[in-house]
Structure formats: structure tokens, C-alpha cells
Amino acid sequence: MKKNKLFVPLVILLMGLPLVGCSLPITGTPTPFVFPTPNLTMTAIFSQPVSLPPTVTPAAGPSPTGEPVVIPTQVPQNPTVTPPPQVIFTPVPSATSTSSGTSQPGVSAAYFSTPPTINGIWSDWNTPQLPIGHIVFGANKWKGASDLSAAYRIGWDNTNLYIAVKVNDNIYSQLLSGATLYKGDSLEILFNTDPASASSTQGLVESDYQMGISPGNPTPGNNPQAYLWFPADKAGSQSSVRIAVVAMTGGYRVEAAIPWSIFGVTPASGQQYGFAISVSDDDQPNTAVQEKMISSAANRKLVDPTSWGLLTLSQ
């Protein structure tokens, strides 16, 4: 009986050895760990940056009148632009630079104790003749001073801002009116009521005004018109602007009295405003298209008020 008692535990011990051996680690190649596919957010973080144009032109949209809000001049999308040639004409007095929110030279507007007669002739003006001498759009289509060149005079009183312009243009073409008048021979006035706060990055704001003047459709002096494009909530024809146009050999003259009330300001000597005046040209008599533009501001950009120049009221 003693031998049997010793034999049973021994058998049990030997039977347990394989069970212990099965619990030892198994050698071999482990299954690789696969990282989950990145989601859209992570992909965006590590992707290459998207290249955007240096300046984005505001998109057109419906105006309160139902007509499209048009950005008259295209903004170049190439950040490196070769400076266009200047229009050549009779030298005029140099403008005086003035510090403000704008980086462009300034001009002075003389006070009129007796307002000029709005008849398209500037013989009763005693203010300097200033240049509109920089091609800012369509330089490759400019054929010389007889094709497009201009000069202007500017003044003011307590009621109006006065502008007189002489334009050399050997082919007159204006087929449109209202919001699309920029596609024909026309003037453009840019005016900023708060140049000290103007920024080259903010675009147009409520203190910026863009007005077009048509010398007439289809001939100079036939129903001339002023139209305000911006601010958009004030867009529309401006019947309070008095305009007189005279046709001349190889061009035309425009004289305008623009009420200060359009800009919402009360003028006073020493006040300063952002300002640029430009002339658009269409040399295709049967087609409405803006082919080129010259400006008083060398670097004029519609959506950059700091490029417009500076106007000081003097008395």
C-alpha cells in the first residue's frame, strides 16, 4: 500500500509537465501594427499650402436697383507687373507729397469764392493744370498721346467739388450708360473720406467712393451722366452732379460740379481726402469694351485706397 501511494503523485506530476510547457512564450514574427488612415483634418494639416492670387477682386452681386454691381477695372492677378509707360504731354507743376494713410503724392484743390461756370470750358479757372499721366490698364493697346492722354483742374467751395478735364482721344466711343458706362469713353473718380485709416489690405469700405462720368452717348455732350458704383448701398445714377461736355478736334472736355452731400462730408480748408481721377478709353465704335485706362495715380488699384493719392482743400 505504501508503494501505491507514492506512485499516484508521481504519475500526476509527470502528466502536468506538458501543461506547464504550453504556457511558455512562442517565438516568431509578430503581426505588424497598422496606423489608421489619417482623416480629412490631419490630411489638411500636412498637405502642401494652396497658392492664392495676391489680390481677390470682389465678386459681383445684385445691387438694390437690381442691376449688377460692376468692378470697372480688372485687378492684375500677377504680383510682378512691369510698370507701364507714362503718357507724355506738356509738363505741369509737380505735386507736393503729403503724409497720410496713402503712399501717393498729394495735390491741392483751390477754393472758389465765385464758382466756375459749368460749361465744359476751363478758361475761368486759375488753378494749376495737373496730369492724368499713368497707364494703369491696357498698356499694350496704348498708341500714343493722341490715342489717350488727359489733364485736369480741381477746386471746391462749401457746396461742391469742381473738376474740369481735357481728354485727347482720337476715337470717341460710348454706347452704354448707368452701371456699364465704364466700357466706353468715360471718367472715373475715386474718393476716400478717411484716408488716415486707409489700408492696402482691407479693400473698399463705406468711406470709399467710386463714381463714373459718361461724357455722352453716343456723342460727347449728348445726355452726359454720373453713376456711383460704390458704396453699393448708394449705387445708382447721380442726377445732382452737374455736367457739361464740349467736343473738340481729337477729344473732348468735361466740367462737373459734384455736391459734397454725395460723399457725406462738410468741407473745410485743410481737410484731406483720398483721391484719384482716371480716364477709360474704347477705340471700337461698334463694341462696348474698356480697352485701357490712364490715371492721376501711378499705382492706382481699385481695391487699394492707399494707392489713390491725396487731395488737400486749400483756401
Does 45 score more than 70 pLDDT?
no
**Which pLDDT score is estimated for 198?**
84
User: For residue 256, what is the enclosing H or E element?
Assistant: strand 251-259
285/292 Cα distance (integer angstroms): 15
Confidence of residue 203 (pLDDT cuts 50, 70, 90): confident
| pLDDT reported for residue 105 | 61
**CATH level 2 (architecture), domain 106-313:** Sandwich (2.60)
Per residue in 62-113, pLDDT (tens digit) is 333 333 333 344 333 333 333 333 333 333 333 333 334 454 568 999 999 9
Structure confidence by residue, pLDDT tens digits, 119-174: 999 999 999 999 999 999 999 999 999 999 999 999 999 999 999 999 999 999 99
**Number of helical (H) and strand (E) elements in the chain, helices listed first:** 3, 14
User: Tens digit of pLDDT for each residue in 223-261?
Assistant: 999 999 999 999 999 999 999 999 999 999 999 999 999
> In a 3-state reduction of DSSP, which class is residue 232?
helix
Average pLDDT value for the chain: 76
Q: Are 273 and 192 in contact (CB under 8 A)?
A: yes
Q: Which residue has the cell 498729394?
A: 106
Decide which of 5 and 25 is more confident.
Answer: 5
Structural domain spans, the chain: 106-313
- Is this structure's pTM higher than 0.85? no
What is the residue whose three cell numbers read 456711383? Answer: 228
Residue 237, phi then psi, degrees to nearest 5:
-65, 145
- The share of the chain scoring above pLDDT 90, in percent, equals 63
Cell representation of residue 265: 462730408
Instruction: State the pLDDT confidence band at 19, using cuts at 50, 70 and 90.
Output: very low
Q: Which residues contact 273 (CB under 8 A, 6 or more apart)?
A: 191, 192, 193, 195, 263, 265, 310, 311, 313
Listed range (10-19, 54-63, 110-119, 190-199) with the worst mean pLDDT: 54-63
- For cell 499516484, what's the residue? 8
Contact 135, 86 (CB under 8 A): yes
pLDDT at 206: 92
Handedness of CA 279, 86, 155, 72 (dihedral sign): positive
Alpha-carbon distance of 95 to 56, in angstroms, equals 31
Ranges 5-14, 80-89, 170-179: which has the least confidence: 80-89
> What pLDDT is recorded for position 94?
31
What's the pLDDT band for 201 if we cut at 50, 70, 90?
Answer: confident
Residue 263 has pLDDT above 50, yes or no: yes
pLDDT given for residue 119 in this prediction: 97
For the chain, what percent of residues have pLDDT higher than 70? 67
pLDDT for res 104: 52
